[in-house]
Amino acid sequence: MKIFDKLKHTHHPKSAALDLLKYIGPGLLVTVGFIDPGNWATNLAAGSTFGYALLWVVTFSSVMLIIIQHNVAHLGIVTGLCLAEATNKYIRPALARPILGSAMLASISTSLAEILGGAIALQMLFSVPVKIGAVIITAVSVFMLFSNTYSKIERWIIMFVSIIGLSFLYELFLVDVEWGTAVRGWVTPSFPEQSMLIIMSVLGAVVMPHNLFLHSEVIQSREWNLEDEHVIKKQLKYEFYDTLLSMIIGWAINSAMIILAASTFFKKGIVVEELSQAQELLTPLVGNSAGVIFAVALLFAGISSTVTSGIAGASIFGGFFDEAYDPKDIHTKLGTLLSFIPALLLIFVIKNPFQGLIISQMLLSVQLPITVFTQIYLTSSRRVMGKHANKRSTNIILLALGLLVTGLNIGLLVSLF
């Protein structure tokens, strides 16, 4: 039985505005993956190397993410199944098992990057060695997942995202931003010399396999009555508003990272290649408080993204057994640990954090097309979605985006060698 089933009941909203407010939340958990430590590194490199010129990439990637995440959320609402469960139910085992197995490896890869980001933040703030910091981040994340209900975790994540957003808002007040140039950068595509690798990195890192599994799972916390077609339509509409708002928040935070880097490092001709380097350089350029707040925001980004990666890993593992996410269930706990423990062990084996991030990106690049096209197959099927199956125009858009994301990730993978 789903942990979210107890939230399903015949719903009589007092007002549309109140209903919409109650629906906000699942999309913000997905946003965490959009502002994880890997994105930080890419955004800082984009801003420090090319100034405001690549802000359009964040705009384009946000639109792309809205479409793909909106589609996978429909799967959860209409079927009452997460992507992992639907894969196990509607795709023959000879294909379903390798799909879910590769997704589990992608979850481990994601956890590696998220844990590493939090550990780097602890090193910035308290001079904690990265390996010890990784253990601390893992332990805190496991505690949060094992000791809290979904609703409590969601509130924690919303608070963390708010802290990250406010941190960058504060830092933008400390620097001299060329807002006219920034606005043009948001809406005007440009391809500066030697910028393609960073453009591919920003776009390729936006759609992450674990986020597709995550969104289809957590969206079900807002289901009230799957038998009532009117209610289903209402949830599909509110889900879009939640996804749209959440992705706009992600767009704003990612934009703030690029603007901060452009307004500080690019003006000084400094190219930032590592997160710790950014914090060290911010302090003399903007002030000690800026460096501290940067590290604090990174810490919350690391913890929150590790937690959501754990939920996704548990959801994927539960799919093998036709079970949904349930913190009290043994398969959910095993899935969480299977996402975290191998990632933690890899951090101890890998000699340097940068190498770890490269390995994680390689695994994600290989697995992402598998998840994206599995999603498109399921949401296109009338056997799965009934009359809510994708329209032909929707399929064309999704296939085009799927091919684009696949091409970008293949290009990024090739560039790593």
CATH number at residue 380: 1.20.1740.10
Across 348-376, average pLDDT: 79
Q: For residue 239, is pLDDT > 80?
A: yes
Q: Among 85, 60, 72, which residue's Cα sits nearest to residue 390?
A: 72
Q: Looking at residue 116, what is its pLDDT?
A: 92
pLDDT averaged over every residue in the chain: 87
Q: How far apart are CA 323 and CA 329, in angstroms?
A: 9
Q: What is the pTM of this model?
A: 0.90
Tell whether 215 is covered by a domain.
yes
Q: For residue 146, is pLDDT > 60?
A: yes
Tell whether 186 is covered by a domain.
yes
Structure confidence by residue, pLDDT tens digits, 240-287: 999 999 999 999 999 999 999 999 999 999 988 788 888 888 888 888
129 C-beta neighbours (distance < 10 Å), count: 11
Confidence band for 227, pLDDT divided at 50, 70 and 90: low
Q: Looking at residue 222, what is its pLDDT?
A: 64
Q: How far apart are CA 314 and CA 107, in angstroms?
A: 9
Q: Among 43, 26, 19, which residue's Cα sits nearest to residue 205?
A: 43
For 15-52, give one letter per residue: b (16+ CB within 10 A) or e: eeeebbeebbbbbbbbbbbbbbbbbbbbbbbbbbbbbb
CA dihedral defined by 239, 245, 250, 255, rounded to 10 degrees? 150
Please tell me the least confidently modeled range out of 42-56, 109-123, 354-368.
Answer: 354-368
Tell whether 367 is covered by a domain.
yes
Structure confidence by residue, pLDDT tens digits, 276-306: 888 888 888 888 888 999 999 999 999 999 9
Q: Looking at residue 150, what is its pLDDT?
A: 72
Q: Among 43, 49, 61, 39, which residue's Cα sits nearest to residue 189?
A: 61
Q: For residue 151, is pLDDT > 80?
A: no
Q: For residue 363, is pLDDT > 80?
A: no
Q: Domain of residue 313: give its range.
A: 10-415
Q: Among 46, 39, 47, 38, which residue's Cα sits nearest to residue 261?
A: 47
Tell whether 5 is covered by a domain.
no
Token pair in block for residue 311: 């939920």
Q: Looking at residue 9, what is its pLDDT?
A: 41
Across 200-214, average pLDDT: 84
The conformation of residue 262, written as its DSSP 8-state character, comes to I
Token pair in block for residue 77: 């609402």
Q: How far apart are CA 185 and CA 183, in angstroms?
A: 5
Tell whether 384 is covered by a domain.
yes
Tell whether 4 is covered by a domain.
no
Q: Looking at residue 282, what is its pLDDT?
A: 86
382 C-beta neighbours (distance < 10 Å), count: 10
Tell whether 387 is covered by a domain.
yes
Q: How far apart are CA 273 and CA 263, in angstroms?
A: 16
Q: Looking at residue 207, what is its pLDDT?
A: 80
Q: How far apart are CA 42 and CA 288, in angstroms?
A: 23
Structure confidence by residue, pLDDT tens digits, 7-30: 444 444 455 556 666 677 788 898
Into how many domains does the chain fold?
1
Confidence band for 50, pLDDT divided at 50, 70 and 90: very high
Across 60-83, average pLDDT: 93
Tell whether 1 is covered by a domain.
no
The percent of residues in the chain predicted with pLDDT above 70, rounded, is: 90
Evaluated on CA atoms 389, 394, 400, 404, the torsion sign reads negative
Direct distance between the N- and C-terminal alpha carbons of the chain, in angstroms, rounded to an integer: 46
Q: Among 355, 303, 359, 358, which residue's Cα sits nearest to residue 121?
A: 303
What are the strands, taking DSSP E only, across 129-286? none
Q: How far apart are CA 372 and CA 361, in angstroms?
A: 16
